Structure 1
Amino acid sequence: MGGGRAAVFVTSGQRTSTTGLLAEAAARRGMEVRVLTDGQVLDGLVGRAVHWYGGPLAAGRIANVLGLGLLEPSDDWLARLPEEFTGRRIELTTLSEAWALRRPVFVKPPSAKSFPAAVYADGSRLPRTGEGVGPDTPALVSDVVTFAAEYRLFVLDRRVVAGSRYAVYGRLDTAPLDGDSREREVRRFAERLLASVGESLPSAVTVDVGLAQDPDTGHERWAVVEANMPWFSHSYTARVDAVLDVVLRAAGPRDQLSQGDVPFLHASPASGYI
């Protein structure tokens, strides 16, 4: 694929700070950078070696046309983790089941952004209508946990290559992982996690971890917040060139995927233009 031409870094039309940083880093590497705005742009990319950064809805429409291999963790990955890594009860269910809950819970979609990830007073507060929302919509339901600090880790071949703090007590508060006062603790927890369950993740992935606080005792412990696809993850203040390495692996030509990554291919039910 590509016929010897430069690889292309394609982004959606939605401009974010991460989009701009990654596009600049890709250009410095000699990649052609394109913004996918219409079908004409898409037609010109067919047969090229394309990498993607953007949302899953647009990605699902173009992946088959461009031969993209988009990696993401399985929907039930977090729910299957041992509690030593989650620090809380987590269940993968459906919105219809979650609607019946009568206690405060944190609920989020596993990967798609079909409804807001938030603490809900009970299941009746969850949305019942909207794009991608219905009784069978997957939902991750967990106990409500307070995180004193949360960090996004960009992982390549089971190794943390970049990271950033992104929140303190639930509020946006960014700082590079390198040099952070908790850097050693974060890296130690991540190493233990990846050594234990790394094979259950794609070779390129983002993993969010946080310092969880027990509401009764105040005891703190490190826990996994979630895992996501790098090609739709904010980089915050992580080193952009290392982030780009992860994104390029996670969203590139399907025919270049390793056999180990095939089970983690993002489902692309549709193909066509944006």
Structure 2
Amino acid sequence: MELLAVEAAGRGMPVRAAEEPGLAGPAYWYGGPVAGARLAGRLGFALLEPADGRLAELPEEFTGRRVRAGTIADAWAIDQPTFVKPPRDRSFPADVYTDGSRLSSSLDPAEPVLLSDVVTFAAEYRLFLLDGRIATASRYAVFGRLDPRPPGTDRADRATTAQIAEFADRPAAAAGHTLPSAVVVDVGQLLDPYRPGHRWAYRPGHRWAVVEASMAWFSHAYAADPARVLDVVLRAAGPREHMRPRDLAFERH
């Protein structure tokens, strides 16, 4: 947040905290969904986000695992290890649940969730997309541990960056107009020892897969270029009158 604030201030944009009195629009937003929803009407910004079930609609060739959209009631009924996550507001921890009894009984049974096979990502990368193209990117995790790193820092990493771009074009094309024009898509090198030799493998046992799609205005930049991250955020959470027609379907309500 501080990096984006510095970049915005450098462009001559005043930066204000959500708690500051006397805020007036039109404005742009970077922050959480609860405060964003509270302020959107008064400050005149529109929040773009991918549809809850978008990941489940992608073919398995892009996700590398079975993913289905469901509800908390469906999650309560699972009887084998399943990765369960809320698609929006982080109302419960995204995690591998051995069975449904580990999920709180106080959750709304109709709340949407994503349920997927349990897999291991050797490395995960965050892509900030603008009009279907990568504006900037960052590695953010290795085997589930936080490990941010800017792309292209050495020869091997430059090769990885090229592979990310080549892979990302395919699910982005498949998604067509089912993603907002400004969005975050996380991809990863899926550890898959049982399917070596896949076209997207950079070495046996690894291939590329989509991790998830998220709201750019509520996504950590990690080691991505703050200037280009800000470009994506300004489109994803800016004045409603500046919204593009194709993005109207993705406004958060």
**TM-score by shorter chain over 0.5:** yes
The structural deviation recorded for 1:198 is 3.4
Q: CA deviation at 1:196?
A: 2.3
Contact 1:149 1:167 in 2 (8 A): yes
For residue 56 of structure 1, the aligned residue among 23, 30, 33 is 33
Deviation at 1:187, TM superposition (A): 1.1
2:186 alignment partner, one of 197, 201, 208: 208
Aligned to 1:12: none
Indicate the SS of the match to 2:29. strand
C-alpha contact 2:135 2:228 (8 A) present in aligned 1:
yes
- Which range moves more in the overlay, 109-118 or 171-180? 171-180
SS of residue in 1 equivalent to 2:184: strand
1:237 aligns with 2:184: no
Structure 1 residues 142-181: aligned runs within 5 Å? 142-179=116-153, 180-181=157-158
* Residues 123-176 of structure 1: CA deviation (Å, up to 9, x unaligned): 1112222xxx31111110000010000000000011001000000001101101
Residue aligning to 1:118 = 95
Partner of 1:41: 22
Normalising by structure 2, report the TM-score.
0.92
Structure 1 residue 136 corresponds to structure 2 residue 110: yes
Counterpart of 2:247?
261
- Kindly provide the CA deviation profile for residues 32-74 of structure 1, in whole angstroms up to 9, marking residues without a partner as x: 1111115x333xx1xx320000000111111111121110000
| Deviation of 1:215 (Å) | 5.5
Alpha-carbon separation, structure 1, partners of 2:189 and 2:35:
34
Deviations 1:185-216 (A, max 9, x none): 11110112222223210000000000112264
Distance 2:174 2:194 in 1: 29
2: distance between equivalents of 1:32 and 1:153?
27
Tell me the matched-pair count: 241
In the alignment, which residue of structure 2 is the partner of 1:80? 57
Aligned partner letter, 1:212: L
Q: SS at 2:78's partner residue?
A: coil
Separation in 1, partners of 2:193, 2:103: 24
Partner Cα distance (1:238, 1:121) in 2: 34
Cα distance in 1, alignment partners of residues 147 and 105 from structure 2 = 32
Query: Which residue of structure 2 aligns with residue 272 of structure 1?
Result: none
Candidates 8, 27, 30, aligned match of 2:9:
27
Q: 1:71 aligns with which of 25, 39, 48?
A: 48
Amino acid at match of 1:252: G
- Give the letter for the 1:41 counterpart: G
Letter in 2 for 1:183: T
**Are residues 1:222 and 2:208 paired?**
yes
Q: Percent identity?
A: 55
Letter of the 1:142 counterpart: S
Question: Which runs of 5 or more structure 1 residues have no equivalent in the other structure?
Answer: 1-18, 268-274
- SS at structure 1 position matched to 2:128: strand
RMSD: 1.3
Separation (CA, whole Å) in 2 of partners of 1:194 and 1:97 = 29
Partner Cα distance (2:176, 2:152) in 1: 22
SS in structure 2 at match of 1:21: helix
**How far, CA to CA, are the matches of 2:248 and 2:120 in structure 1?**
35
